[in-house]
Amino acid sequence: MSAMQKIELMAPAGNFESLQAALDNGADSVYFGVEQLNMRARASINFTLDDLEEISKRCQAKNVRTYLTLNTIIYDHDLSIVKTLVKRAKEANITAVIAMDQAVIAVARELGMEVHISTQINITNIETVKFYAMFADTMVLSRELSLRQVKHITEQIEKEQIKGPSGRLVEIEIFGHGALCMAVSGKCYMSLHSHNSSANRGACKQNCRKKYTVIDQETGFEMELDNEYIMSPKDLCTIDFLDQVADAGIKVLKIEGRGRAPEYVARVIKCYRDAIDSVENGTYDKDKVIGWMQELEKVYNRGFWSGYYLGQKLGEWSKGSGSHATQKKVYIGKGVHFYPKAKIGEFKIEAYDLSLGDTLLITGPTTGAKEFELKEMLVNDQALEKGTKGDSITIPLDFRVRPSDKLYKIVENKVEA
């Protein structure tokens, strides 16, 4: 892969649990929203202004780049908030702002912050890249492009030496994995029309994920559909053709999922980290792909397809409203204490039970998402094989747990075919 540039793996962070999961599993960069002016304003908890310093501190410690998403439609009454957000991001040493509104771009430029162009702008050709190169160093291309079209754009950037404000060649970013929307690069108005809740202001009601029937208004005839979920695309997955993605000359691979759980971020980032490294060191092969796909199927998904990248027939729709994940988590209890010398975590079981051999998951704002097999434990200070509701258990751990941490058991999830 000597002719290809190293791909940056960008992870979603909807909260501190997911942020830590991204850092622990090999992300090169993270993107996140603060307060309400981002496209996941309602889908994730979101950070506050006061969290910026902590986000920056954690990421700088691991040499991970940080991107603040400010990519919604902006109204006049938002402008003072935009200026405050960008100013605070600059002071906290956040790497860049992801923007789609020219007002945000202008504010960031005025304050000397690096700008990345959001997919919401819909960049589909080299002339548009040239235009935004006056303002931005990195651009997310439209999700509707094929890899052939992406490669043409990256080759033209190299050929014409199109550079951003930093003086470096413009870097191209694409989405690599996660939810896809029926609308063109996310620009959908269904939610606004039906609920007065704008998807373009980060408040999508997910109309497209619901079941629909089609009825002829004149005759009352109801059309038969093979699949009622005709507006809910399967999730994007590129891990099985990541070598072709790399060959397209992209610089950044973006993982969608700021509304997803920390274990989702942990597993998806780990898989793509392994895959990117394998492409780079020449060990990427079909057997590895099979293993990664099995891992990705364990966490939230609507089924997978390759999107528009390979130029296949359009439209692969999910067959249900929820997840097709092969596994799910069951809440067991919460952290009580950690004994650092002995490296033992204490938990209180508040629901269900657990046994030796179970796969456990511990999540927390500082812990992230840690998954492991339960090999030994004490139940109410006795070495037992099973713990139940009300019991106090202690488990040897190679990481610190905190009272805010939650303990889950991972179980098989029966998915309808």
Instruction: Specify the CATH number for the domain of residue 173.
Output: 3.20.20.70
Examine residue 83 and state whether it is found in any structural domain, yes or no.
yes
Same domain, 23 and 79: yes
What pTM was computed for the model? 0.85
Backbone angles phi, psi at 260, to 5 degrees: -90, 160
Same domain, 60 and 200: no
Tokens of 125: 């050709």
Examine residue 67 and state whether it is found in any structural domain, yes or no.
yes
Residue 389: give the domain boundaries. 327-412
Same domain, 150 and 17: yes
Same domain, 26 and 77: yes
What are 209-253's pLDDT values in tens digits? Answer: 566 666 777 777 765 555 555 566 788 999 999 999 999 999 999
**Quick one: pLDDT at residue 209?**
59
**Quick one: pLDDT at residue 183?**
60
**Quick one: pLDDT at residue 218?**
74
Examine residue 313 and state whether it is found in any structural domain, yes or no.
no
Which residues neighbour 366 within 8 Å (Cβ) at sequence distance 6 or greater? 16, 20, 400, 402, 404
Examine residue 155 and state whether it is found in any structural domain, yes or no.
yes
The tally of domains found in the chain comes to: 3
CATH classification of the domain holding 375:
2.40.30.10
Same domain, 387 and 402: yes
**Quick one: pLDDT at residue 179?**
76
Same domain, 246 and 381: no
Same domain, 20 and 106: yes
Q: Is the Cβ–Cβ distance between 137 and 116 less than 8 Å?
A: yes
Examine residue 228 and state whether it is found in any structural domain, yes or no.
no
Same domain, 172 and 284: yes
Which of 223, 247, 274 lies at the terminal end of a domain, its last residue?
A: 223
Same domain, 41 and 173: yes
Which of 160, 195, 223 lies at the terminal end of a domain, its last residue?
A: 223
**DSSP strand pairing (65-70 vs 96-99):** parallel
Examine residue 322 and state whether it is found in any structural domain, yes or no.
no
Examine residue 26 and state whether it is found in any structural domain, yes or no.
yes
Gap between the Cα atoms of 76 and 2, Å rounded:
48
Examine residue 310 and state whether it is found in any structural domain, yes or no.
no
Which residues neighbour 232 within 8 Å (Cβ) at sequence distance 6 or greater? 182, 208, 209, 210, 302, 317, 318, 321
Gap between the Cα atoms of 299 and 302, Å rounded:
10
**Quick one: pLDDT at residue 417?**
46
Same domain, 141 and 105: yes
Report the interhelical angle of 262-281 vs 16-24 (nearest 10°): 20
DSSP tag of 35: T
Which of 305, 338, 353 lies at the terminal end of a domain, its last residue?
A: 305
**Quick one: pLDDT at residue 213?**
66
Same domain, 263 and 133: yes
For residue 122, CA distances in Å to 141, 197, 212 come to 6, 22, 28
Block mean pLDDT (10 aa), the chain, length 417 = 71 96 98 76 70 98 97 90 95 97 96 95 96 97 94 98 97 92 60 60 60 70 58 84 97 94 97 97 96 95 87 62 83 95 96 94 96 96 94 96 94 72
**Quick one: pLDDT at residue 1?**
35
Same domain, 250 and 387: no
Query: What is the C-alpha R_g of the chain?
Result: 23
Which residues make beta-bridge pairs with 378? 383, 394
Q: How far is CA 335 from the centre of its chain?
A: 27
